[in-house]
Each structure stands twice: as structure tokens, then as C-alpha cells.
Chain A
Amino acid sequence: MKEIRIFFRNRTVSVTVIFMIILEITVIIKSVNVIPDGSVSPFFSFSFFQKHLILMFFPCLLINILIMAFSVTAERQNGMLSKLLPYGESLMVRNKTAAATVISLFFSVLYVISAVIASGLKTYLSFKFAVFLTASYIFVFYALSSFSVSFAFMYYHGDNDYGPELKQMLIYIFIVSAAVSSFYYFISENMIYFYEFITGYRRVYPNAEFILFMVLTFIFMTGARIMLKKAEKKLYEEQY
């Protein structure tokens, strides 16, 4: 939790997070009474929810970008500190990833559930939905946070005390945006029964989709692990 405190002590990070919360609250307020009274078809619910799902990725995206832009890059100056602490390189990379995952998860899940409640999507108002949503996002955010933190540690050199270079920032934003959009497109096209299952419309989860889900998780976790290891190695080999 100390890492989260370090993130938020950065004024630019705090201001951006406040701005993001205002944005989320605005969307939630706008969601109230969007759905007309009366029975709502599952298709409409699903379609409406998907729209929120798209919006939900913005906090995640934004948080990962801002963490890298304002915090991790600034901390490259504190890289020497990691080399003085026992297993410091490993701790630095992993703690940043854990903190970024927790922040992303907190804001995104809270936002989705608030949006569901505000828009009156009763189908999604269940404990099962909240649990499945959180569990599935843990993997997504962990992989994305691993990528962000690894990218920052591997490709930012810390020579610039004022933050990352514009070119590096643009490359990062492009890569993350492309990755998130592709992921979202892939999920929408191939995992169509997931939300039906967690909302209770479907009692049995199809084996093919379950296998796909497990394979994806495995790929994400392996990829995250490789990236973090590389970042640790880079930090370990760095000379001050």
C-alpha cells in the first residue's frame, strides 16, 4: 500500500485521478434513467452494458498511462535505491505492478458496478456478477500493469528528470490503445457467453469458451511474468 501512497503523492497523478473520477461520476449520473421503465430485453441489457464496458476501459488505460508517465519514470531517479535494498530490483518492479493493478481494479470495478446500479440493469445486480467481474479483470489489469511497468523500466532511461519524452509517450499510448482495443474486440467476438453465464442467463458455460478463457489467462500470465523478469534483469544490470 506504500506504493499506492507514493503514486498519489505525485501531484500530477492526483490531479489526473481526480479528473478521471469526475469523468466517471458524470457518466454514472448520465446513466440514471437512460433505460425506460418496464421490462428490458436481455439483448438490450447486454448491449447497454457493453457500452459501459467500453467506457470502463478508459480508467484502466488512463491509470496505466499516468502511472508510467508521472510516477514510474520519475522513480527511475530512485533506481539506485532499489539496488541498495535486499532484492530491491524485484521488489520495485513487482510492487509497482501490484499497486497499478489494485488502483486500476478499484476504479474500474467500482465504476462498472456504480454504472450498473445507476442505470438500473437489474440483471447484473448480483453478487455472482461482481465476483466474476472482479476475478476476470484481475488478470486483465495485472497483464496490462505488468506491461506498463515493464515498458517504463525497460525503455525509459531516467536521464530526463522531468518525465518521459513525448515520442516515448506517444508510442506507449498507441501500443496500449491498440492492445486494449484488440483485446476488447477479441473478447466481444469470441467470449460471447461469459456475461450471459455470470448474469445467470446461461447455466452451463460452453467448454470451448472455457478452454479459450483458460488459454488466454495462461498467455496473459506467462507474458506478464516474462515482461516483469526482463524489467527486473534490466534494473539489476543497470549501473549507477
Chain B
Amino acid sequence: MIKIKDLKKDFPKYGFSIECRHLSVESGTAAGIYGPAGSGKTLFTKTLAGLTGSYSGSVEIASTELKNTYRRKIGYLPFRNVLYGNLTLKEMSHYLLGQYKLKREEFDLKLDWFSSLWNISQFTNRRIASLTDGQLQSVKFFTSLLHSPTVLIIDEPFNGLGTESTDSFSAVFDDIRKKQVTVIAASANFDLLEKIVQISTQISNGKIE
């Protein structure tokens, strides 16, 4: 569960600030944040993922304040690729599992589950840098779920996805929600976003209505 109260985060570098007076998302629920380009979606998701440092107000993740939350609880799917392009999906997954102190077998289990909804097994041994945008998005999604987070934050979920991939994405999205994962997804595409979330809210000039 995520509870946000009077959140304010300034970004002097961009001359921008994020404000959210109240937002509460229960476990197993997906919330959508929509808004046009430059409205502050990415900065908001980064703030929730704990990437932007100190903030005022309160962000509670499973009853623990964000700054005290163990990072393993959060899964983040960023707009930009932060995975090592020179590694394959399998190698990257093993690397991440090692950092999370999880066993390598977890990769096979997660891959079986994920591939039943969105087939990524065909490119597990291909270097990440050689993947297409759609394939990369699926890989980013997969790796953000490797450590079984309780909260998943997604920035632009439909980035690079075609119609078929969007359906696969939605299937995974629904499945993780059934597993009681709390999801916050931010996108400029309101029509697509509305199909996969239960609650939605708008962001405009950094302010969440």
C-alpha cells in the first residue's frame, strides 16, 4: 500500500516542483497518473522510487516512510534504460539477483511465469543493447519484478510497445495486481492507461489533482 500526504519536492535544477496533497493506493490496486509531456510524471515516479533524495511531507510504503523503506520492497520501471547493455537478460538477471541476495533459480521461476504471459524467453541470451524498444520494455518490466517487490512504480508503461505487446503488458500487469502488488503507473497515454488501472488522477505542472 502507498499513502502520500502533503508531498512536496523541489527540483531547483529544472525550476520545477512536485506536489501531491493526498493519494492512497491499496494493495492489489493500480493507480494511473496521466498528464502531457513536461507535466512532471517522471519526476513524480522518481520521487516515489526514492531516487531524488529528501522531500517534505510523507510517503508511506507498506506503513514505512519511504526514506526508511528497504529498497527491495520497491520495483521501478524507468523510462530510460538503466540495465547494462553489454549483458544478456540472463546475465543481467543473475547480476541483480546476486545484489538482492536471491538464488539464481529465481530467474527460471520468474521467467516461466513471465513468459506464460509475455514471451521473452526467445531473447534471454541476447545482449540488452541489441533489443528493439518493445523487447527492451519487456526486459525492463521483467527485471523490475525479479525481486518480487510489494510496490511497483512504472514510468511510461507503453513506451515502445505495439498493439500485441500492449496486450501482453496488460496481462502481466493484471497478474501482478492479483498478487497484491501495489502499482503506480504514469503515462501521457490516457486511453491505454485507463484500461489497466483502477484509479486515475491527473498531473499538471507538477501538481497532482
Contacts and interface: CB of A to CB of B under 8 A. Distances in A.
B100 A240 contact: no
Nearest to A9: B86
B84 A6 contact: yes
Contacts, number: 55
Contacts of A80: 51, 78, 80, 82
B100 A85 contact: yes
Contacts of A165: none
A188 interface: no
Contact of B86 (A10, A85, A86, A88): A10
Q: Interface extent on A, as a size class?
A: 10 to 19
Interface of B: 11, 13, 46, 49-53, 70-72, 74, 76, 78, 80, 82-84, 86-87, 91, 94-96, 98-101
B78 A91 contact: no
B83 A86 contact: no
A5 B94 CA distance: 12
Contact of A86 (B11, B46, B71): B71
Contact of B99 (A10, A75, A77, A91): A91
A214 to B, nearest CB: 35
A14 to B, nearest CB: 10
B87 A9 contact: yes
Best-buried of B49, B52, B84, B87 by chain A (most CB within 10 Å): B84
A2 interface: yes
Contact of A84 (B74, B80, B94): B74
Interface string A140-182: 0000000000000000000000000000000000000000000
B99 A88 contact: yes
Contact of A6 (B53, B87, B98): B87
A77 B87 CA distance: 15
Contacts of A75: 84
Contacts of A6: 84, 86-87, 95
B82 A78 contact: yes
Nearest to A240: B51
B84 A83 contact: no
